[in-house]
Chain A
Amino acid sequence: MPLAFDWTQLAQQTVIGLSSGGTWALLALALVLIYRSTGVVNFAQGEMAMFSTFIAWSLVDHGLSYWTAFALTIAISFGGGFAVERVVIRPVERAPVLTVVIVTIGLFFVFNGAARWHWSTETRTLPNAFSTRPIHVAGVAFSIQDLGNIAVSLGMVLLLWLLFRFTKLGLALRAAAVNPGESRLVGIRVSWMLAIGWGLAAAMGGVAGMLAAPALASFDQTFMQPVLLYAFAGAVLGGLDSPLGAVVGSLLLGVFINLIGNYVGWVGNVLKLPVALAVILGVLLVRPEGIFGRPRVRKV
């Protein structure tokens, strides 16, 4: 007896994929932001986001209201990112890319170790920013949380676009990233711009962590590590220099991984990540700058 294709399940798994992608999108945005403003990929972005999440938890634990803690964490994260750039990245600002990558790897270990030093390793939870009450539409369930995460990510893309396009600060940030030498000639304080870029990315990472923790139902010192992997994959797919690409890439990745894991038998759960990464590699071979990325022109 032939079974009718279960369209509802397909829709549900797609929605779940979008929800997964939504938990990675903000971190992917943070990665893109750092890449665009400093030309470097920050391997510690996830751990910094995790650290911010612990700070938020501590604030709530000390009695602050959730939203106060939320806002305060954003501010602290901005400050932290700014400070990290000034203290750790600045000395290697003009060093080759690989040196800076290794420094960010060092930061990965620093934040990872510091988080375990200061807080015990038990499982914790952070309050929800959005409601998780299920809403049913045509047999498919989702929640405000799923929509909220995606909305916040897209909202950030818009904010960034406005910042870069229409503000003096944004212009200075772009100039400092693209052409530091000439920017200095025009009076832009390049070092400060880089630090602000790091601060913004860290703040964004903080939001990413604070929204991912409830989306993943619990958190501890390791919770951002898988998220970082997926965020990288999503950002690369969308184009490392495109904020919109980061979000769209993450969402596409979430849906793709879910559907291929569920509908292609031999892939199953075990192979869904390798297959997804292979597909991304395929995309890169055809379009090395990612879906929304800008092609690099190499001047001789």
Chain B
Amino acid sequence: MKRVYLGIAALGALVLATVASGAGTATPGVTSTQVVIGGTIPLSGPAAAYASVGRGAQAYFKYVNAHGGVNKRKIKYIYKDDAYDPAQTTDKTRELVQQDHVFAIFNSLGTETNLATRPYLNAVKVPQLFVASGATTWGKDYKKYRWTIGYQPNYRAEGTIYGRYVAKTNPKAKIGVLYQNDDYGKDLLKGLTNGLGSKAKLIVSKQSYEVTDDQVSSQIAKLKAKKAKTLMVFATPKFAIQSYVYAHKLGWRPKVFVNAVSSAANVMGIATLGTSKKQTEGSISIVFLKDPTDAHWKRDPGMKLYRSIMKRYKGGNPNDVYNVYGMSAAHTFVAALKKAGKSPTRDSIMRAATHLTVKNDPFLLPGITVQTTSSDHFPIDQARLERYHNGHWVVFGGLFRVR
């Protein structure tokens, strides 16, 4: 009998030791040789098209590691599938924090998904860095959630750009809006209304759709019926493509503003294939990344680096712009990690991330500076307008602040 007790005691001690050693170091996720970070990406489910964000980042980290890492530490990046489902995001994030003991959460994707984990991460003081979503709240509510910071130009600012552009160039426009019925879509819409200012009445109709819908034909018909001549597409790729195709099927050819999330070259290509060159011609969007399918960047050293990393570290399809996004975010993280000092802590990386200045990110448009200060928690707030012409996006106008 005594041997049984001894055995259980020994087992217990072993387990305790293992648990203790895992949580033992002063800063979780940081040892003398590596830094462990984690994130959640939709590898399956309705947003799986964005999965390459994780792959692009991973390839970049491998490249950095091959060149000595940061302050002699290699970066280990664990990303898990949350299928774009906030319930899974909370579970997997908890797993990353409590089981994988990550130093920080990096570049988790999605608006609703990150909204679900933000309160928890801030309560346990784990940095939620460079959230892969343009929701305005990441940068706006930093006083309440000081452990969270976003990354890309935010949706409200993007909508404001479109509003200001229309108010200036087409003050008699009739605008119809298709938007996703969640924070992402509503943010863009709010921005549009702000940007139109006194001309907000130019919006003749707003139609929403649910992420779980299968088609938006009815909404497009309604927008056409309200005699809109300009169409704002604040929708994810599947529904953005449908917007073009269903408009075409109704014989309607409005001037389209398509949000950056759905402006990827392959999305526009599919839309053109399903309609005609004329249907997509003249569409407008904003851009902050270099487009890998744009011949303009063929000799650009930044994109050459991108391609070589994608090839060397097996990032996947180099023509997929979401890879560029991931790589750009990874580049920014590395800069923040360097700034966090020789012995990074969660506090020091947060300080670094909120007091960052990175010029010449090889994957962003020339002239864009990734910058945060104590009052500006929007890392990237510059972009350019682009117009779809002959099957390609062409930037026009200058670089401007997306605020």
The yes or no verdict on A and B being binding partners is yes
Contact mask A4-31 → B, CB, 8 Å, 1/0?
A: 0010110011001101100100000000
Q: Which residues of A contact B266 (CB under 8 A)?
A: 122-123
Pairwise interchain contact A123-B248, C-beta atoms closer than 8 A: no
A270 adjacent to B225 (CB under 8 Å): no
Cβ-closest chain A residue relative to B247: A134
| Residue from B209, B214, B245 with most neighbouring chain A CB atoms (10 Å) | B214
Interface assignment of A53: CB less than 8 Å from any CB of chain B: no
Contact A218 B218 (CB under 8 A): no
Measured in the bound complex, the distance between the Cα atoms of B210 and A220 in whole Å is 18
Closest to B239 in A: A217
> Interface size (B, Cβ < 8 Å)?
43
Interface segment among B45-53, B112-120, B165-173, B340-348: the answer is B45-53
When distances are taken between beta carbons in the complex, the residues of chain B under 8 Å from A124 are 270
Known contacts A136-B251, A143-B249; A226 and B214 CB within 8 A of each other: yes
Whether, in the assembled complex, B78 has its beta carbon less than 8 Å from a beta carbon of chain A, the answer is no
From known contacts A121-B48, A221-B48, infer whether A132 and B210 are also in contact, taking CB-CB under 8 Å.
Answer: no
User: Chain B's nearest CB lies how many Å from the CB of A20?
Assistant: 6
B interface secondary structure, majority: helix
The residue of chain A having its C-beta at the shortest distance from the C-beta of B208 within the complex is A269
Q: Encode A127-163 as 1/0 by CB contact (under 8 A) with B.
A: 0100010101000011101100000000000000000
Chain A residue at minimum C-beta to C-beta distance from B262 = A123
Q: How far is the CA of A120 from the CA of B266 in the complex (A)?
A: 14
Whether A217 pairs with B274 at a CB distance below 8 angstroms is: yes
Partner of A123, one of B43, B212, B215, B241: B241
A99 at interface by CB-CB < 8 Å: no
Contact with B along A198-228 (1 / 0, CB 8 A): 0000000000000000111110111100110
Docked pose: A273 CA to B208 CA in angstroms: 14
In the bound complex, CA of A95 to CA of B339 (Å): 65
Residue-wise interface mask of B (40-74) relative to A, using a CB-CB cutoff of 8 A (1 in contact, 0 not): 00011110110100000000000000000000000
Interface string of B207-233 (1 = CB under 8 A from A): 111101111011101100100000000
Q: Closest CB-CB distance, B162 to chain A, in whole Å? A: 22
Query: Does B242 have its Cβ within 8 Å of any Cβ on chain A?
Result: yes
* Interface pair B218/A141, CB less than 8 Å apart: no
Q: For the complex formed, measure the closest distance between the CB of A277 and the CB atoms of chain B, giving whole angstroms.
A: 13
Q: Is the CB of A121 within 8 A of B44?
A: yes
Closest to A128 in B: B274
B76 contacts A by Cβ under 8 Å:
no
Per-position binary interface string of chain B over residues 244-270, scored 1 when its CB falls under 8 Å from any chain A CB and 0 otherwise:
111011110000000000000011001
* Complex contact B209–A12 (CB within 8 A): no
CB distance from A169 to the nearest CB of B (A): 34
Of A123, A143, A222, which is in contact with the most chain B CB atoms at under 10 Å from its CB?
A123
Tell me if B217 and A16 are in contact (CB < 8 A): yes
Q: Which residues of A contact B317 (CB under 8 A)?
A: 120, 122
Interfacial chain B residues near A220, Cβ < 8 Å: 48-49, 238
Q: A191 interface residue, CB < 8 Å from B? A: no
**Which residues of A are found within 8 Å of B320, using beta-carbon distances?**
122
Chain A interface size band reads 35 or more
Q: In the complex, are the beta carbons of B215 and A23 less than 8 A apart?
A: yes
The answer to whether the Cβ of B15 comes within 8 Å of any Cβ in the partner chain is no
Are A6's CB and B218's CB within 8 A? no
B237 at the interface (CB under 8 A from A): yes
Interface centre among B181, B209, B238 (most CB of A within 10 A): B238
B16 at the interface (CB under 8 A from A): no
- A258 contacts the other chain (Cβ, under 8 Å)? yes
Contact residue among A20, A125, A226, A227 (Cβ-Cβ distance under 8 Å from B217): A20
Q: Cα distance A178–B46 when bound, in Å?
A: 40
Q: Which residues of chain A are near B242, meaning CB under 8 Å?
A: 216-218
Q: How far is the CA of A121 from the CA of B238 in the complex (A)?
A: 12
Q: Cβ of A81: which chain B residues have Cβ within 8 Å of it? A: none
Give the Cβ gap from B323 to chain A, nearest Cβ, in Å.
11
C-alpha spacing A101/B87, complex, angstroms: 26
Residues of B within 8 A of A180 (CB): none
Q: Are B270 and A218 in contact (CB under 8 A)?
A: yes
In the complex, the answer to whether B215 meets A134 with C-beta atoms within 8 Å is: no
Given contacts A121-B48, A221-B48, contact A12 B238 (CB under 8 A): no
Chain A residue nearest to B42 in the complex (CB): A121
Tell me the bound Cα distance from A163 to B140 in angstroms: 65
* Interface membership of B273, Cβ < 8 A: yes
A220 to B214, CA, bound (A): 12
Contact between B221 and A125, CB atoms less than 8 A apart: no
Known: A218-B270, A218-B274, A269-B209. 13 other contacts (CB 8 A): A6-B225, A9-B222, A13-B218, A122-B49, A123-B241, A134-B251, A136-B251, A216-B215, A217-B242, A217-B270, A220-B48, A222-B45, A258-B218
Q: Please give me the 7 A-B residue pairs with the lowest Cβ-Cβ distance, nearest first.
A: A121-B48, A226-B214, A134-B251, A217-B245, A217-B242, A141-B250, A125-B270
Q: What are 16 A-B contacts with C-beta separation under 8 Å?
A: A12-B250, A20-B217, A120-B316, A121-B43, A121-B48, A123-B270, A132-B274, A143-B249, A214-B274, A217-B245, A217-B270, A222-B46, A226-B213, A226-B214, A269-B181, A270-B208
